[in-house]
């Protein structure tokens, strides 16, 4: 089901401030975009086969804004790339796992994504993204 660790999502108060830290560690921002449906602005910094995804809320009702209020800045989710997202979600639902999205929603990179419920991930928020290539 899983092809690779696509990215590690990190919730931040201020994108440029945290980006500067990772750039000082030797990474470079490859791209930035706003995902309107999720109320976030994201910056991707490749690191080997995977990427760091910095997530800054664009509104106070964004899930990332809620996370920052509750838990503070830090690791927010792991995203795994899968070949067939519909099949993966169907399989997980059939096995009884709680899903935030039963059907894929638009994510960053123009890809289809879905989140498992944190309860299903035993405290880890897991995102699945379809790898179209
Ligand atoms: Co993500």
Tell me, in angstroms, the distance from the centre of ligand 1 to residue 86's CA.
Answer: 18
| pLDDT in the model for residue 37 | 83
Tell me, in angstroms, the distance from the centre of ligand 1 to residue 8's CA.
Answer: 7
Residues 6+ apart with CB under 8 A from 18: 10, 12, 54, 73
* Residue 10 · residue 32 · CB < 8 Å: no
Tell me, in angstroms, the distance from the centre of ligand 1 to residue 51's CA.
Answer: 10
| pLDDT in the model for residue 1 | 85
Tell me, in angstroms, the distance from the centre of ligand 1 to residue 127's CA.
Answer: 6
Which DSSP string do the residues of the chain spell out, in sequence order? Answer: -EEEEEEEEEE-S-HHHHHHHHHHTT----EEEEEGGGTEEEEEEEETTEEEEEEEESSTTSHHHHHHHHH-SEEEEEEEEES-HHHHHHHHHHTT--BS-SS-EE-GGG-EEEEB-TTTTTT--EEEEE---
Tell me, in angstroms, the distance from the centre of ligand 1 to residue 96's CA.
Answer: 23
119-124: long-range contacts, CB 8 A cutoff, minimum separation 24? 120/92, 124/77, 124/78
Tell me, in angstroms, the distance from the centre of ligand 1 to residue 115's CA.
Answer: 9
Per-residue tokens: 19: 């980006």
The string of pLDDT tens digits covering residues 11-23 is 999 999 999 999 9
Tell me, in angstroms, the distance from the centre of ligand 1 to residue 94's CA.
Answer: 24
Tell me, in angstroms, the distance from the centre of ligand 1 to residue 77's CA.
Answer: 7
Q: Tell me what the mean pLDDT of segment 59-77 comes to.
A: 96
Tell me, in angstroms, the distance from the centre of ligand 1 to residue 52's CA.
Answer: 9
The string of pLDDT tens digits covering residues 34-59 is 998 889 999 999 999 999 999 999 99
Give pTM, 2 decimals: 0.93
Tell me, in angstroms, the distance from the centre of ligand 1 to residue 99's CA.
Answer: 15
């Amino acid at each position: 089901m899983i092809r690779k660790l696509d990215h590690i999502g990190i919730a931040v108060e201020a994108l440029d401030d945290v980006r500067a830290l990772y750039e000082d560690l030797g990474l470079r921002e490859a791209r930035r975009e706003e995902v309107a449906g999720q109320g976030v602005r994201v910056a991707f910094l490749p690191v080997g086969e995977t990427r760091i995804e910095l997530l800054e809320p664009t509104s106070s009702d964004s899930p990332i804004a809620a996370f920052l209020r509750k838990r503070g800045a830090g690791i927010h989710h792991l995203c795994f790339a899968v070949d067939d997202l519909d099949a993966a979600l169907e399989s997980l639902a059939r096995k009884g796992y709680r899903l935030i999205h039963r059907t894929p929603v638009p994510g960053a990179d123009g890809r289809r994504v879905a989140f498992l419920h944190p309860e299903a991930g035993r405290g880890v928020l897991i995102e699945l993204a379809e790898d179209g290539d």
